[in-house]
Amino acid sequence: MMGERILKLMMDILSQPAVLIALISLVGLIIQKKPTSEIVKGTTKTFLGFLVISAGAGIITQSLDPFGKMFQHAFNVTGVVPNNEAIVAVALNEFGSTTAFIMFFGMIANILIARFTRLKYIFLTGHHTLYMACMLAVILVVSGLKGIPLIIIGSLALGLIMAVFPAICQPIMRKITGNNNVGFGHFSSLGYVASGLIGKLVGKGSRSTEEINFPKGLGFLRDSSVTISLTMVVLYVIIALFAGPSYVEKELSNGSHYLVFSIIQGVTFAAGVFIILSGVRLVLAEIVPAFKGISTKLVPNSKPALDCPIVFPYAPNAVLIGFFSSFAGGIVGMVILALTGSVIILPGVVPHFFTGATAGVFGNATGGVRGATVGSFVNGLLITFLPVFLMPVLGDLGFVSTTFSDADFAVSGIVLGNVAKSFGATGVTITVVGLVLLAVVFGFFKKNKDSNNSQKLGV
C-alpha cells in the first residue's frame, strides 16, 4: 500500500509541469548559490507562471469542448477522436506501474543523454513525458518485453525521444525567439518542423502574420485579444446555428440561449489565450536565469525544453491562423478517410488548437502568412492520417474509440511498433540501445573534433 502511494506521489510530481519546473528552478538557483530571497522568489514565480499557463490552457480546453460537440452533431459525424488524456486514462489502468517507472528513469536517461551527447535538451513538459512513457509501455509490452528489461529499454527510448525532438525544432526556435536560450518540448515536433519547412517553400515575400495591416476604421483589430475574441465568437455562432438551438440549449448550455452561450464561449477562449500569454512571459523571465546553474554545473550548455505555449507570445495572430488552418486540414483529412473506407479520424478541436497554433508560429517564422496557413494545414493532415497507422501497433488499446493525437507519438509508436512486429523484443532492444550508443559515440567524436580544431586555431 505504501509502495503504491509513493508511486502515485512520484507520478503526480513528474507529470505536473508546474511542480517539475519549480523543482528545476529551485535546483538551478541553489547550484548558483543565490541568496535565499532570490531562491524563494525565482522558484515561486516559476511555479506561479506555469500554473497561470495551465489555467489558461484549461479555460481554452473547456471552451473548445462544446465547439467540438456542436461540430459533430451539426454534421452528423462519428469516428475515433484522438485525445492524449483519454487514451492515457484508459491505458494507465493496465500499464500504470510500468509507465511510472519508465517515466522516472526516462527523465534520468534524458539528463544523462544531454550530458554525454550533443543533444543538450532537458525535456520539462511533464504531462507529455507521462503520455510518451505510457505509449512506450504499451508498445514494449506488446513486443514481448517484461520486467527489468522492459523498464530499461523503455527508459532509454523515452530519454532519447525527449532529447531528439527538441533538437529537431531548435533551428526554427532560434528564428522564432531570436536567441538560443530555450528549447521546445512538445511531442508534435515533426508537424511543427514540417510547417517551418513548408513556410520556407511557399512563403517567399510573404509578410509576417504580425504585420497584417488593417484599415484605420478597423485599427482595433491590431489588438490580438480583440481579434481572437471576435473571430471565435463568429465561428461559435455559425457552428451553433448549424447544430440548432434545441441541441445546444438541452445538451450544452444548461438552458441558456444558444447564441448567448456561443458568444460567451468565444470570448472565454480569447481569455484563455490572454492568460497563457501572461504566464509564458512570467516563466521566461524566471526559468532561463535559474536554468543557468544546471547548464553550467550539471549538464554543460543544456537548455530547458518547454511546452508549446512558450512560442505563442511571439506571433499571436499566427496562433489563430494556425488553429483554423490545422482544423481545416483535419476536416479535409476526415473526408479523404471516409471516401477511402478507412478508420475515420475526427478533427479533435483541442489538439488542432494547440498543435495548429504552434505550427502557425513555426510556419510564420519561415514564411509569413502563407507559411503559417499552409504549414498548419499540413499539420492538420499529419495528425489526422498518422493515427490511422499507429492504432494497429497498440494491441488491444488500438480498438478503443480514441488514440494519441500528436505527430511525435504517432511516428515514435509506428517505428517502434513495426520493429516489434517484425523482429520482436530482441529487435526493439537492439534498435533502442543502438540509437543511444550512436548518439553517445557521435557526441564523443564531435567533441574531440571541436577540441582539435580549437587547438589548431590556438583557442
Give the mean pLDDT of the chain. 88
- The residue that leads in pLDDT, 323 or 14, is 323
In a domain, 326, yes or no: yes
Least confident among 223-237, 257-271, 328-342: 223-237
pLDDT of 287: 80
Here the cell at position 102 is 519508465
Tell whether the model's pLDDT for residue 274 goes beyond 60. Answer: yes
Tell whether the model's pLDDT for residue 457 goes beyond 60. Answer: no
Least confident among 137-151, 282-296, 376-390: 282-296
pLDDT tens per residue, range 144-183: 998 999 999 999 999 999 999 999 999 999 999 999 989 9
Tell whether the model's pLDDT for residue 458 goes beyond 80. Answer: no
Closest by alpha carbon to 27, among 11, 12, 15, 43?
43
pLDDT tens per residue, range 63-96: 888 988 898 888 887 788 888 888 888 888 888 8
Where is 81: in which H helix or E strand? strand 81-82
pLDDT of 196: 96
d(CA 303, CA 166): 10
In a domain, 190, yes or no: yes
Here the cell at position 223 is 489588438
Range ranked top by mean pLDDT from 60-69, 211-220, 264-273? 264-273
Average pLDDT of the segment spanning 276-294: 82
In a domain, 458, yes or no: no
Chain center to CA of 382: 14
Here the cell at position 247 is 441541441
In a domain, 457, yes or no: no
pLDDT tens per residue, range 312-323: 999 999 999 999
In a domain, 427, yes or no: yes
197 within 8 A of 172, measured Cβ to Cβ: no
pLDDT band at 297 (very low <50, low <70, confident <90, very high): confident
pLDDT of 23: 86
pLDDT tens per residue, range 28-77: 889 888 899 999 998 999 899 888 988 998 898 888 889 888 988 888 87
Strand partners, 444: none
Tell whether the model's pLDDT for residue 257 goes beyond 80. Answer: yes
The set of residues, in sequence order, having a beta carbon less than 8 Å from that of 34 and lying 6+ positions away, is 42
Tell whether the model's pLDDT for residue 455 goes beyond 50. Answer: no
In a domain, 349, yes or no: yes
Name the domain count of the chain: 1
Tell whether the model's pLDDT for residue 200 goes beyond 90. Answer: yes
Strand partners, 282: none
Average pLDDT of the segment spanning 433-445: 87
pLDDT band at 444 (very low <50, low <70, confident <90, very high): confident
In a domain, 454, yes or no: no
Average pLDDT of the segment spanning 185-193: 96
Here the cell at position 163 is 532529447
pLDDT of 177: 93
Burial grade of 296 (CB within 10 A; 0-12, 13-18, 19 or more)? middle
Percent of the chain at pLDDT > 90 equals 52
Could you list the residue range(s) of the whole structural domain that residue 79 is in? 2-449
Tell whether the model's pLDDT for residue 453 goes beyond 50. Answer: no
pLDDT of 335: 93
In a domain, 459, yes or no: no
pLDDT of 323: 93
Here the cell at position 125 is 513538459
pLDDT band at 459 (very low <50, low <70, confident <90, very high): very low
Give the pTM: 0.86
Average pLDDT of the segment spanning 104-118: 91
pLDDT of 205: 87
pLDDT of 399: 66
Tell whether the model's pLDDT for residue 364 goes beyond 60. Answer: yes
Average pLDDT of the segment spanning 422-450: 84
pLDDT band at 451 (very low <50, low <70, confident <90, very high): very low
Burial grade of 304 (CB within 10 A; 0-12, 13-18, 19 or more)? buried
d(CA 132, CA 103): 8
- The residue that leads in pLDDT, 290 or 238, is 238
pLDDT of 456: 47
